[in-house]
Amino acid sequence: MTFRRRATLLGLLASVCVTPALPAGAAAPPGNAVPPADGIANTGVADTGVPHWQPLPQDAAKVAAKLQSFSEYKKARAAANANAGAVSPMRLCTREQPCGDSNQLPYVAMHPEGDGNRDPATGRPKTYTCGPAASRNVWLSMSGQDIPEHQWEIWEQTSPTTGTLIGNIANAMNAHTSAYWSVYTPRSAADLLWAVGADIDTNQAVIPNVQTMYLSFWGGHRALHYNMIYGYQHYTSSNPTILFGEEYDPVFTFGYLPPSYPVDPYGWHQEYLSNTWTAVHNSPSQSVVF
């Protein structure tokens, strides 16, 4: 049974995606201008700045139904955890029969950010379209339907200077997919895990808003960003792991690994729930689309 989703309660902040800084004396990427600075340069919004809230359309009945479904899921999951046995990581679950300690989408698509969507100013793949890129990969993973990144960029009203409002991601997903989506602000790491489980156990994914410096696979690099959560492991342990699909690949974008990146974050990663919670909690919106 698939939960119905709805962009709800509050419209939240934009996140501009990832643009590497070039150190003094370093060569510019071949055939490209020097990349701009990290994070959200030229937006006037600091990492720890005051939120710029954006109201979203709401449907009170659907919001209430969504929250009720989430509450019912929590109860069903808690009951199942009491006597859950080992399950296959590839098993698909339902709200009526939740999984035990692990679950993930059976297929995970990973188009790099900017794939098929070049910046006309540089001729290189775009570096501010993490929201559209995450939306593309989530829907392709769930449905097998590949809607190009540029189309998501239009639907989500993504800007090269202010990025993508998280509410616009939910609105675009609601308008152009058969699933239902909501912006949700988890109150704790456990609450975030409930939200991840609610999606994954019903064959849906999560688009988290994150500050990348708290995710181990970014090597301390700071950026405000969206990516994809496609599964979890060890749900009942003291610190479960969250499965990330990271679409940003600086080598794909610039043709080399810039010095500001200790590692290339692109790919499939396991991350502790504690780190995931910290990354979401320190993002502009402190929220996820699920």
Nearest one of 70, 101, 99, 13 to 192, comparing CA atoms: 70
pLDDT at 1: 38
d(CA 284, CA 84): 36
Task: Give the chain's radius of gyration (CA, Å).
Answer: 18
The first and second tokens of residue 227, run together, are: 């990516």
Burial of 45 (0-12, 13-18, 19+ CB in 10 A): buried
d(CA 274, CA 290): 19
Q: Residue for token digits 């993930």?
A: 104
Q: Which CATH superfamily is domain 14-19+29-289 in?
A: Cysteine proteinases (3.90.70.10)
pLDDT at 162: 85
pLDDT at 180: 82
Strand order in the sheet with 183-184: 183-184, 288-289, 207-211, 224-226
pLDDT at 144: 93
What does the pLDDT profile of the chain (290 residues) look like in tens digits? 333 333 333 344 566 675 333 333 333 222 222 222 222 222 222 333 333 334 355 466 666 776 777 888 888 777 776 665 544 443 456 655 666 788 999 899 999 999 999 999 889 999 999 999 999 999 999 999 999 999 999 999 999 988 999 989 988 998 899 888 888 899 999 999 999 998 898 889 999 999 999 999 999 999 999 999 999 999 888 899 999 999 999 999 999 999 999 999 999 999 999 999 999 999 999 999 99
Domain ranges in the chain are: 14-19+29-289
pLDDT at 84: 57
Type of residue at 126: K
